[in-house]
């Protein structure tokens, strides 16, 4: 015991020292990066400029809450990735700015979800339709990266590169067998045959219903992508299906060029020479996307106009408690409600666009957000713009809007409810030799994870889940002005694409964030009037982000202490965050976990 306490104390002291040292290093990195930025950044565009659009890393809906990254090899580094919002702004500005003649596009290392890929694809398509050119080059292309690049006038890949044009997939982890071996029982309560979020805790394989819904939306997403590529590249759609069933990534250079997916296989220096020939210059002159946004945003998107359209971002899981989990970007309901009420009371805000990118979460929190949005809608127009996900609780908070605009590849719907209460009794008593006893005044006095639920407790929880499901479908029916029976037909936890959602009445129109803003202006009666787009919540300052990064040290400490307590059982951060999440999650969850992989 004495040795254990010494170890814990050493961990605490070490973390404290690391935090102090880390803060100093980050501060130095900030100063250094700002100094370098000031020396090399462009402050204005020049005639004949090319915009260098390098999209790498994960593309998030809003700017990352951490301006720095850290790893053992490279130390602290500025996070150079832009958000989807910033990339779209850069493309729009490049289209409007007469000094910019074209885009040099690189998507090496880019990862995103289907709707984000499509939003970038469509923005670049609009840029090209304006009469300006796009040249794309990658060392290698994944399917998603290629889809974005396929709109270019010329698509190049390295001489020994590849194009992974190999279709879509969605994989699910089924840990029930492992949980059984550990002695952990997940007591599941749900409504909805297609509510697959809890399926991995109930069975050890994919159900027919879940396989059906995943297969349906994967095929829908694929068809849209294939149609877009066919149009951009002039390749028949059936040929693309054939290519997807061939090992395109392993084709020889001449075979890949003959496929029509790329125009040529060249070295990067050769592509840059082509750009020099196109611009008639001896030296490639251009401006980076971030520089363009920083120096030109207010010129093309003024913030001081009389009428304002607020774009309120709701991204992440919907949480009823603020959680300090590393990398967390939860929608903490009280914070979002404060923003909603401020916008409702702001006379300068003519309408609100709620940009939703959420798989759902707490049922309680979803209902509170819904109520706040209902109050806002009574005062001014509310339009929802769906991003990658607006599923389950994400749809719950969307359904009351005056108008819903969904991306074609948005994953939405999932109108269903579940609850999970783990039972660790076989693990604690059978394996660890720990016995828990309880004394209570009434039979429902405490729901415990150290014993199985009684039949009465299970009935009570199932009734709670069913009651909330009834409330959920009623909110949808009222919000969408549809008969309850019609909502029930498309509910049951089933996930739909945005295209399906419009067809089924769950959304009004297909489009991106700009279309949603235009609709908000229309509903506010301000068509033809100058309006400013203002985004909420406001971005964190660098100092606030730095403090947020170091606030995660508490989780590091709890992780290390847990490893010591459990001895030889190693715990990774993901597993520990999952355990913490189970502890903090509400009993009633409106959540979807479906992920499409490129």
Phi and psi torsions of 43, nearest 5°: -105, -5
Structure tokens at 200: 């991995």
Catalytic residue selected from 366, 392, 499, 592 = 392
Structure tokens at 226: 């294939």
DSSP 8-state assignment for residue 196:
G
Q: Which helix (H) or strand (E) holds 86?
A: helix 84-96
CA-based nearest residue to 44, from 292, 243, 334: 292
Instruction: Output the CA torsion sign for 275, 279, 283, 284.
Output: negative
Phi and psi torsions of 27, nearest 5°: -60, -45
Going by their DSSP bridges, the two strands 75-78 and 68-71 should be labelled as antiparallel
Burial class (CB in 10 A: 0-12, 13-18, 19+), 127: buried
Entry field: residues in the chain: 598
Q: Quick check: 149 and 105 in contact, CB under 8 A?
A: yes
Can you tell me the distance from the alpha carbon of 381 to that of 353, in angstroms, rounded to the nearest whole number?
8
| Cis bond before residue 537 (omega within 30° of 0) | yes
Can you tell me the distance from the alpha carbon of 321 to that of 333, in angstroms, rounded to the nearest whole number?
8
- The contacts of residue 13 (CB under 8 Å, 6+ apart) are none
Q: Quick check: 224 and 498 in contact, CB under 8 A?
A: no
Q: How far is CA 67 from the centre of its chain?
A: 18
Strand partners, 169: 597
- Examine the residue annotation and report whether 392 is marked as an active-site residue of this protein: yes
Vertex 388, ends 392 and 339: CA angle to 5°?
70
Going by their DSSP bridges, the two strands 589-591 and 360-362 should be labelled as antiparallel
Longest CA pairwise span in the chain (Å): 86
DSSP 8-state assignment for residue 160:
T
Quick count: other Cβ atoms within 10 Å of Cβ 179? 17
Catalytic residue selected from 54, 132, 195, 560 = 195
- Examine the residue annotation and report whether 195 is marked as an active-site residue of this protein: yes
Quick count: other Cβ atoms within 10 Å of Cβ 166? 16
DSSP 8-state assignment for residue 427:
I
Task: Tell me the C-alpha to C-alpha distance, in Å, between residue 406 and each of 63, 93, 293, 330, 395.
Answer: 21, 23, 26, 21, 11
Task: Tell me the C-alpha to C-alpha distance, in Å, between residue 348 and each of 312, 340, 360, 380.
Answer: 15, 14, 30, 11
Can you tell me the distance from the alpha carbon of 454 to that of 462, in angstroms, rounded to the nearest whole number?
12
Phi and psi torsions of 265, nearest 5°: -110, 115
Half-sphere exposure of 147 (CA within 13 A, CB side): 30
H helices, E strands: number in the chain: 22, 24
User: Which residue is listed with tokens 């951009």?
Assistant: 232
Based on C-alpha coordinates, what's the Rg of the chain? 26
Helix (H, G, I), strand (E, B) or coil at 550: helix
Q: Which active-site residues does the annotation give?
A: 195, 392
């Amino acid at each position: 015991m004495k040795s254990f306490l010494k170890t814990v104390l050493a961990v605490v002291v070490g973390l404290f020292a690391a935090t102090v040292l880390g803060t100093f290093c980050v501060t130095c990195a900030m100063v250094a990066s700002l100094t370098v930025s000031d020396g090399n950044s462009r402050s204005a565009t020049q005639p004949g400029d090319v915009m260098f659009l390098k999209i790498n890393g994960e593309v998030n809906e809003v700017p990352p809450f951490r301006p720095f990254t850290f790893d053992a090899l490279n130390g602290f580094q500025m996070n150079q990735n832009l958000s989807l919002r910033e990339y779209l702004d850069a493309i729009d500005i490049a289209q409007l700015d007469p000094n910019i003649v074209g885009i040099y596009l690189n998507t090496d290392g880019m990862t995103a979800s289907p709707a984000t890929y499509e939003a970038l694809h469509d923005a670049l398509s609009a840029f090209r339709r304006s009469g300006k050119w796009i040249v794309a080059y990658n060392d290698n292309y994944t399917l998603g990266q290629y889809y974005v690049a396929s709109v270019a006038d010329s698509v190049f890949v390295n001489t020994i590169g590849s194009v992974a044009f190999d279709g879509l997939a969605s994989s699910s982890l089924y840990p029930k067998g492992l949980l059984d071996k550990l002695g952990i029982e997940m007591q599941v309560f749900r409504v909805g045959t297609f509510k697959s979020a809890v399926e991995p805790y109930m069975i050890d394989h994919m159900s027919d219903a879940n396989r059906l819904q995943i297969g349906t939306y994967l095929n829908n997403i694929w068809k849209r992508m294939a149609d877009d590529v066919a149009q951009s590249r002039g390749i028949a759609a059936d040929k693309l299906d054939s290519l997807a069933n061939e090992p395109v990534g392993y084709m020889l250079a001449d075979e890949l060029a003959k496929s029509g997916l790329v125009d040529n296989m060249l070295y990067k220096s050769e592509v840059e020479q082509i750009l020099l020939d196109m611009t008639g210059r001896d030296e490639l002159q251009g401006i980076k996307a971030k520089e363009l946004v920083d120096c030109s945003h207010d010129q093309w998107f003024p913030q001081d106009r009389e009428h304002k359209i607020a774009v309120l971002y709701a991204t992440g899981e919907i949480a009823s408690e603020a959680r300090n989990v590393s990398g967390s970007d939860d929608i903490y309901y009280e914070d979002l409600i404060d923003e909603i009420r401020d916008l409702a009371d702001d006379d300068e805000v003519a309408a609100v666009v709620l940009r939703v990118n959420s798989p759902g979460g707490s049922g309680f929190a979803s209902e509170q957000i819904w109520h706040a949005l209902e109050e806002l809608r009574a005062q001014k127009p509310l339009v929802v713009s769906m991003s990658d996900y607006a599923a389950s609780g994400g749809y719950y908070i969307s359904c009351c809007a005056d108008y819903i605009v969904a991306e074609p590849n948005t994953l939405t719907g999932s109108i269903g409810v579940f609850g999970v209460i783990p039972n660790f009794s076989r693990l604690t008593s059978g394996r660890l030799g720990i016995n828990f006893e309880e004394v209570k005044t009434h039979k429902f006095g405490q729901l415990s994870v150290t014993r199985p639920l009684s039949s009465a407790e299970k009935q009570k929880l199932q009734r709670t889940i069913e009651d909330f499901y009834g409330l959920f479908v009623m909110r949808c029916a009222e919000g969408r002005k549809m008969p309850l029976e019609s909502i029930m037909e498309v509910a049951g936890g089933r996930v739909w694409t945005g295209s399906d959602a419009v067809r089924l009445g769950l959304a009004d129109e297909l489009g991106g964030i700009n279309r949603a803003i235009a609709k908000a202006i229309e509903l506010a009666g301000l068509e033809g009037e100058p309006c400013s787009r203002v985004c909420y919540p406001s971005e964190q300052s660098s100092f606030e982000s730095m403090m947020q990064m170091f606030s995660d040290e508490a989780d590091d400490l709890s992780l290390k202490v847990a490893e010591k307590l459990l001895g030889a059982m190693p715990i990774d951060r993901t597993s520990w965050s999952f355990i913490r999440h189970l502890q903090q999650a509400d009993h009633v969850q409106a959540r979807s976990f479906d992920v499409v992989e490129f």
